[in-house]
Amino acid sequence: MLDWFDEARRRLLTTFAALDPGLRVPWYGPPMSAASSVTARLMETWAHGQDVADALGVTREPTDRLRHVAHIGVRAMPFSYALHGRPAPTAPVRVELTAPGGESWTWGPQGVPDLVRGPALDFCLLVTQRRHRADLALRTTGPVATEWLSIAQAFAGEPGKGAPRCADPARTHRRAEHTSRATRSDQRPGWLGSGAPLGASDASPGASDGPLGAAPLGAAAAPAAAPWPSGRRSARWR
């Protein structure tokens, strides 16, 4: 299997390196730019890699390449609302994340009332629905930012379901602060989503300051896969 992954990665890199970043390529949803497709592949690989790490009880050290995952999570805000049958808010939201290396990553205009702050790793775990918000050290200001994080999703498919691992908010916050730079090997994922990565549409609104010149993400979804039941446990989870 590892040999197959290595060969598939090599072919993917070779293929996309030769493409115009703006070229529209087919996938399970509407065609998306090559740049958006690469961003989505990074997000999908990282998210499902987290599933593998959780199942094996392995801790992954986050790197600044998480910016690609955070970027697609920010740009998917309108899609998150569409999945829940709600109109996307017109009020801008600013996102300020602390990168694993200590750098500050930002999206959105300064001085707006709605703000999301916290570790980039926690934001990525949230938008890929690998952890519940209550188990993460993310802080919001303003009603739009708060509502968005309750439904944030960076992949196409049905919204994930789950519950916090800890019901005590104070204890949850302390644990989230302690684990913000790396995922605990004994932490059971509380909110697992499913489905293919999100598609793209140049007509959709999105945030700025992204790592790639990708088109904003749209609201078209691929056919949903069955969600991984939140009660599924590994022998490593206690």
pLDDT tens digits, residue range 65-110? 999 999 999 999 999 999 899 999 999 999 999 999 999 999 999 9
List, in order, residues 6 or more apart from 142 with CB less than 8 Å away. Answer: 91, 93, 112, 113, 114, 115
Q: Among 4-13, 115-124, 143-152, 227-236, name the one with the lowest average pLDDT.
A: 227-236
Q: Determine contact, residues 46/66, Cβ cutoff 8 Å.
A: yes
Q: Distance (Å, rounded) from C-alpha 12 to C-alpha 21? A: 14
pLDDT at 157: 78
pLDDT at 163: 67
Task: Look at 236 and 160; give whichever has higher pLDDT.
Answer: 160
pLDDT at 208: 35
pTM equals 0.69
Instruction: Tell me what the mean pLDDT of segment 22-35 comes to.
Output: 87
Q: What is the DSSP string of 184-209?
A: -TTPPPSEE--SPBP-B-TTS---S-
Task: Look at 162 and 232; give whichever has higher pLDDT.
Answer: 162
Closest Cα to residue 99, out of 117, 72, 114, 73?
Answer: 117
Q: How far is CA 91 from the centre of its chain?
A: 21
Relative orientation angle of helices 120-127 and 66-75, to the nearest 10 degrees: 50
Q: Say what the alpha-carbon torsion angle 202, 204, 209, 212 is, to the nearest 10 degrees.
A: -40
Taking CA 116 as the corner, what is the angle to CA 81 and CA 142, rounded to the nearest 5 degrees?
75
Long-range contacts of 20-24 (CB under 8 A, 24+ apart): 21/212, 21/213
Give strand pairing partners of 117. 96, 139
pLDDT at 196: 38
